Each structure stands twice: as structure tokens, then as C-alpha cells.
């Protein structure tokens, strides 16, 4: 039987969570920005009314539209649909890309979702986002302006964009999932812990990591984040300045003690 | 966008004149010989998909059984199912098969449902049931990318092959591993864009060996509806329908023989077509 997590293990987890939170703060919401750029490019290249990406989330199982582009796309953001329904659901469930046209003529087509977005498309193409672990979500493009339907070349191009989106998600997920990772680690090293106890420990580990904190620490992290735009020479200068500051701080502490 | 960067298995069928010069012409194996006036009578086709809406007019009352896979604590279990289709996709495939083989009998094996976890396992259980049931043809629009299911599907594909169940599988759009669609014993199918349900291409460069109509195909859809669809998963049932016709005329052919017949009657360019086919019955 595994022992409950020790203070040392908890301290290590806190450190890991802190580093991850700092990395997330430094880089901003990479996933959303990358996905947004992919749907922007998809909508533009297809000359489509809208493009969107829905990602699979659990508790409860759902496909959540994370980003959208195009004049008609905005209403989709934040919308969730069950993965057992609709075209996005089918493409997610089977991993098979497909396109439908004339969908607007079918009064049953995704009526709920369409009513929520205020937009009923005439045609829709959807491709799965998948990596070696499975399907993560769905990339959709709606209503290509120049044509009532989608061609094979369109489907193939959509698959290329889908694979780009998958890479973007994989790169960003590690950061986003810190709390989930902590829960999973705590759950496996202390199987006798109840869900509430795990939640309490995760809460304790991440309590002082609220990125909205207006503390001097986060102010510093934000300022460092802004330095990304600097060239090599300027970066070296800033690094030298920080080194001088660190030495100064060390001397102040030593002289303070002595 | 250049052709070199296109990822899909459909590419050879997008330009058959240039890419499918080689074919196979077996003496006497014409469309008339292969299926002639056959209707698919006596052939059971399993549709492993989202279910079948038995009452849909496109299914012409030809659905003889509906089952689904339930995930239980003791593993997947195949149980009787309602005549429903969660998405419409299974019904679309059934309609395409019957448009080519109007007297075939359809068996719905629904492997998509509310519980998404273990769906690869459910899919494998559905395929196993179809093979054990001795269905002559199985249409799959799904495939699994799970490495852990590779041996399971490989074993099932071999069992199907050895007992002459023709497994027709839609190729995925991306050339990544997916099972069983890329196994050599299955009929792996991608789409071509010529609006002719009888037009078949044979690709002598596997893994995808056959091309069938899969662009802007008029299909049956959920709740008695219809729509127009594009995708490899609408190409596969065209091959399944033709195979059902061949099997109804020549019962007991092995998948190897069926593939050779399809290759022989394929529309690959550079060859004369003395067997000019007639329009499909009822179309």
C-alpha cells in the first residue's frame, strides 16, 4: 500500500506547479492563440463564412468550441455539444473526416446548436484532430463562399490544418493541465486519499499561484515576458543587469546578517 | 497547394489518367461476368457504424437485424438494438449499398454510443461478432489509431480473410497508422470525385487499393432525411455494394478473388471497356 504523500513530495509538486504557472504566465495562452491563428487561416484560405475548433472535454463528456473565425463564426465560441450528436460528434467519434452540403435544408440538422449560434450553415466540412493517443477534437469549416460543396482537395487541405492544430494543442497542453496532472499524481501515490483530500492538497499546492495576483512577483514575471521582443544584445544586457542586482541582493543579505 | 503536400490516400484517384496507368485485365472477367444482373440477393452485409434507421425509405425494408455493443464490467457485449441511427452515417452507408445491391440484407452493428471510452474495443467486438456471424461483407467507416488494438484488429482481419468475409474499410484521410483500414487483407477504399456509383479504380500501389465515388454523393441521413456528402466513408459502401453483387452471383469467393475481380473490371485508364455497364436498377 502506498504511503500518503510526504511533505517533501508535496513541496516538489508545489515547485513543479509554480514553474508551470510561471511558464504559462510568460507565454500567455499559447494554445488559444495558436488555434485562433489556425482557424483564421482556414477561414481565409477556404474563403469560408466561418471556421471553428471544438476540443473534447470531460466531466461531462462534451465538445467545446474554443476558437472561431469568420463573420459568422463568433457565436460558436464557448458552445458545447454532446459528442454523440451532430457532424462534429460523428467526426470526433469515428476519426473520419467528412463534408455535408445542403444541411440548411434539413430542418433537423443540429438545430439546437445552430439556434444557439444564430447561424445555420448550408455546408460544413469537418476533420478530426488526432495524435498518437487518440482524437482531441474537431476542426470545422462552414459555407465556402465560392462553391456550394467541398472538394476532395478541400478535405485534404482541411486535414493539413487539422494536423497543425493538433501539434499546437500537444505543445500547449502540458501547461494547461497542471492541476489535472497534480490530481492524477496524488491519486496514484496515495490511493487511499479521498477525492476531497486530493482536491484539498491540489488546492494547497496551487493556492498562491493565482496568475491574476497583483503581487510584485507576478509583476516581475510579466515584465520579463515583455522582454521576449528584445534582440540578443538587449537580452544579454538585461541578463547582466539582473546578475548585478542578484549580487547586490546577496551582499545586502550577508551584510544584514553580519 | 501542390500535389506533393497533399496527405490523403485519395490522391491517386484525383488524377487517374496520370497515376493509375497500370491495371489488371483478366480474360473473361467482365462486369457482365462479375455481377451481371445480380442484385445482392442472399448476401448479408454488416454495417459497423452509428446504427441503421430501419424505417428510412432508402433502406427499403432490407434491415434484418440491429445489434449494438454494450461495455460491461465483463467486457464488451453484443446485444439487440433499437432500429436507430445516432448520426445518420450508418443509414447513409446502407442506402448506398442498397442502391447498388438492392436485394442485399443489411445487419446493423452499432458501435457508436453514449460511452466513448473504450470505443476502439467496442468497435473490435462489433467486427468480431460480424465475423462469427458469418456475414459475407462488412462495411467499416471507422478505424482505430490505438497501437494497443493493433494485434486485436490484425487477428480479426485474418479471421475474416480466412473465412471469406470481405471487410470493406474506408481509408482515413491522413496517412497515419489506422487499423484495420491499412491491413493488406481488407478492401481499403478512398474517394474519387466522378459522380458515378459504378466507377471503380484499382490502385496497384497499396495500402489503399480501390477508389469509388465519395464526393458530393446524395445520401440518406438521420430522421428520414437526406443530404449530400463527401468523404472516404461514402466511397467504401460503393465497393461494399459491388462486392455484395459479385458474391450474390458467385457465392463463396475469397477476398483475394474478389479483389482480383474488382481490379479486372476497374475503370483504370488506358484500356478499352468492352463491358460498358448499364445503369443501376432503380436509379
Task: Write the DSSP assignment of A226-257 as a string of letters.
Answer: HGGG--HHHHHHHHHHHHHHHHHHHHHHHHHH
* Alpha helices for chain B (secondary structure H): 11-14, 16-19, 31-34, 89-100, 119-132, 150-162, 232-249, 255-265
Beta strand B217-221 pairing with B225-230: antiparallel
d(CA A170, CA A27): 15
User: Are B120 and B265 spatial neighbours (Cβ–Cβ below 8 Å)?
Assistant: no
- The continuous run of DSSP H or E covering A143 comes out as strand A134-144
pTM of the model: 0.79
Residue B14's closest chain A neighbor by CA?
A: A152
Mean pLDDT across the stretch B166-183?
Answer: 85
Q: Of A112-116, B224-228, B235-239, which gets the smallest average pLDDT? A: A112-116
Closest CA to B265 of B274, B253, B252, B255: B274
d(CA B41, CA B247): 9
Residue B12 forms contact with A (CB below 8 Å): no
B-chain CB neighbours of A95 within 8 Å are: 142-143, 145, 172, 178
Residue A46 forms contact with B (CB below 8 Å): no
Average predicted confidence (pLDDT) for chain A: 78
Strand partners, B168: B139, B187
| Confidence (pLDDT) at B156 | 97
Which residues 17-46 of B are in CB contact (within 8 Å) with A?
none
Interhelix angle B150-162/B119-132, rounded to 10 degrees, is 10
How close does chain A come to B29, measured CA to CA in Å?
31
**Ramachandran angles phi, psi of B15, nearest 5°:** -140, 65
B-chain CB neighbours of A141 within 8 Å are: none
d(CA A135, CA A251): 55
Average predicted confidence (pLDDT) for chain B: 89
Share of chain B above pLDDT 70, in %: 89
d(CA B90, CA B96): 10
Residue A257 pLDDT level (bands cut at 50, 70, 90): low
Mean pLDDT across the stretch B205-231?
Answer: 93
Residue A86's closest chain B neighbor by CA?
A: B87
| Confidence (pLDDT) at B276 | 45
Residue B5 pLDDT level (bands cut at 50, 70, 90): very low
Q: Of A17-26, B5-14, B198-207, which gets the smallest average pLDDT? A: B5-14
d(CA A50, CA A64): 16
With the CA atoms of B89, B92, B94 and B98 taken in that order, what torsion angle do they form, in degrees rounded to the nearest 10?
A: -170
Residue A94 pLDDT level (bands cut at 50, 70, 90): confident
B-chain CB neighbours of A101 within 8 Å are: 216, 227-230
**Are the Cβ atoms of B147 and A96 closer than 8 angstroms?**
no
What class has domain A30-176? alpha beta
Residue A31 confidence (pLDDT) above 80:
no
The counts of H helices and E strands in chain B are 8, 11
Mean pLDDT across the stretch B236-242?
Answer: 98
How close does chain A come to B250, measured CA to CA in Å?
32
All cell numbers assigned to A188: 496514484
Residue A147 confidence (pLDDT) above 60:
yes
Q: Which of A47, A82, A91, A96 to mutate to test the interface with B (most CBs of B within 10 A)?
A: A96
Q: Which of A83, A95, A136 to mutate to test the interface with B (most CBs of B within 10 A)?
A: A95
DSSP state of B149: G
| Confidence (pLDDT) at A84 | 84
Closest CA to B141 of B219, B76, B195: B219
Q: Of A3-7, A67-71, A202-206, B165-169, which gets the smallest average pLDDT? A: A3-7
Residue A174 CA: distances (Å) to CA of A132, A185, A250, B2: 16, 14, 34, 34
What number is the ipTM of this complex?
A: 0.84
| Confidence (pLDDT) at A128 | 93
Q: Which residues belong to CATH 3.30.450.40 in chain A? A: 30-176
Output the CATH code of domain B7-265. 3.40.50.200
Which residues 95-124 of A are in CB contact (within 8 Å) with B?
95-103, 105-106, 108-109
| Confidence (pLDDT) at B144 | 82
User: Are A90 and A125 spatial neighbours (Cβ–Cβ below 8 Å)?
Assistant: no
Residue A239 confidence (pLDDT) above 70:
yes
Residue A152 forms contact with B (CB below 8 Å): yes
Give per-residue pLDDT as tens, A32-79.
888 899 999 999 999 999 999 999 988 888 999 999 998 777 778 888
| Confidence (pLDDT) at A175 | 60
| Confidence (pLDDT) at A211 | 55
A244 or B249: whose pLDDT is higher? B249
| Confidence (pLDDT) at A205 | 67
Domain boundaries, chain B: 7-265
User: Are A116 and A145 spatial neighbours (Cβ–Cβ below 8 Å)?
Assistant: no
Residue B147's closest chain A neighbor by CA?
A: A132
d(CA B270, CA B244): 27
Residue B253 forms contact with A (CB below 8 Å): no
Amino acid at each position: 500500500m502506498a504511503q500518503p504523500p510526504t511533505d517533501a513530495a508535496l513541496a516538489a509538486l508545489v515547485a513543479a506547479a509554480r514553474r508551470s504557472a510561471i511558464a504559462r504566465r510568460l507565454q500567455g495562452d499559447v494554445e488559444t492563440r495558436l488555434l485562433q491563428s489556425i482557424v483564421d487561416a482556414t477561414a481565409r484560405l477556404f474563403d469560408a463564412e466561418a471556421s471553428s475548433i471544438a476540443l473534447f472535454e470531460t466531466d461531462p463528456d462534451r465538445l467545446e468550441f474554443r476558437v472561431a473565425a469568420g463573420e459568422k463564426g463568433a457565436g460558436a465560441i464557448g458552445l458545447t455539444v454532446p459528442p454523440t450528436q451532430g457532424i462534429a460528434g460523428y467526426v470526433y467519434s469515428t476519426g473520419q473526416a467528412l463534408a455535408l452540403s445542403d444541411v440548411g435544408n434539413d430542418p433537423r440538422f443540429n438545430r439546437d446548436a445552430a439556434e444557439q449560434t444564430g447561424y445555420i450553415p448550408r455546408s460544413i466540412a469537418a476533420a478530426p484532430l488526432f495524435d498518437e493517443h487518440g482524437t482531441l477534437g474537431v476542426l470545422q469549416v462552414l459555407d465556402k463562399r465560392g462553391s456550394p460543396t467541398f472538394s476532395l482537395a478541400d478535405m485534404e487541405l482541411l486535414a493539413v490544418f487539422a494536423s497543425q492544430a493538433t501539434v499546437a494543442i500537444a505543445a500547449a497542453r502540458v501547461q494547461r493541465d497542471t492541476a489535472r496532472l497534480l490530481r492524477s499524481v496524488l491519486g496514484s501515490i496515495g490511493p487511499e486519499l479521498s477525492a476531497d483530500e486530493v482536491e484539498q492538497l491540489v488546492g494547497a499546492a496551487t493556492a498562491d499561484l493565482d496568475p491574476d495576483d497583483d503581487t510584485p512577483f507576478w509583476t516581475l514575471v510579466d515584465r520579463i515576458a515583455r522582454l521576449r521582443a528584445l534582440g540578443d544584445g538587449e537580452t544579454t544586457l538585461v541578463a547582466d543587469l539582473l546578475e548585478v542586482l542578484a549580487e547586490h541582493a546577496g551582499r545586502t543579505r550577508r551584510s544584514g546578517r553580519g | 497547394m501542390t500535389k506533393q503536400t497533399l496527405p490523403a490516400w485519395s490522391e491517386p484517384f484525383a488524377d487517374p489518367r496520370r497515376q493509375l496507368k497500370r491495371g489488371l485485365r483478366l480474360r473473361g472477367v467482365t462486369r457482365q461476368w462479375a455481377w451481371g444482373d445480380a442484385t445482392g440477393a442472399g448476401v448479408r452485409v454488416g454495417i459497423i457504424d452509428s446504427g441503421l434507421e430501419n424505417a428510412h425509405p432508402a433502406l427499403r425494408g432490407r434491415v434484418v437485424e440491429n445489434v449494438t455493443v454494450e461495455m460491461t464490467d465483463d467486457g464488451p457485449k453484443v446485444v439487440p438494438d433499437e432500429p436507430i441511427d445516432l448520426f445518420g452515417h450508418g443509414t447513409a452507408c446502407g442506402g448506398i449499398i442498397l442502391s447498388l445491391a438492392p436485394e442485399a440484407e443489411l445487419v446493423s452493428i452499432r458501435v457508436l454510443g453514449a460511452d466513448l471510452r473504450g470505443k476502439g474495443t467496442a468497435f473490435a467486438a462489433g467486427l468480431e461478432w460480424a465475423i462469427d456471424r458469418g456475414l459475407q461483407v462488412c462495411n467499416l467507416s471507422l478505424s482505430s489509431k490505438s497501437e494497443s488494438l493493433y494485434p486485436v484488429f490484425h487477428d480479426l482481419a485474418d479471421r475474416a480473410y480466412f473465412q471469406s468475409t470481405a471487410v470493406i474499410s474506408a481509408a482515413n484521410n491522413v496517412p497515419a497508422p489506422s487499423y484495420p483500414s491499412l491491413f493488406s487483407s481488407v478492401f481499403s477504399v478512398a474517394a474519387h470525385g466522378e459522380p458515378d456509383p459504378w466507377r471503380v479504380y484499382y490502385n496497384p500501389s497499396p495500402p489503399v487499393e480501390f477508389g469509388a465515388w465519395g464526393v458530393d454523393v446524395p445520401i440518406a441521413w438521420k430522421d428520414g432525411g437526406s443530404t449530400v456528402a463527401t468523404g472516404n466513408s461514402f466511397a467504401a459502401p460503393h465497393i461494399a455494394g459491388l462486392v455484395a453483387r459479385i458474391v450474390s452471383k458467385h457465392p463463396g469467393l475469397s477476398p483475394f478473388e474478389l479483389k482480383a475481380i474488382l481490379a479486372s473490371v476497374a475503370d483504370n485508364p488506358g484500356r478499352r471497356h468492352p463491358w460498358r455497364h448499364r445503369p443501376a436498377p432503380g436509379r
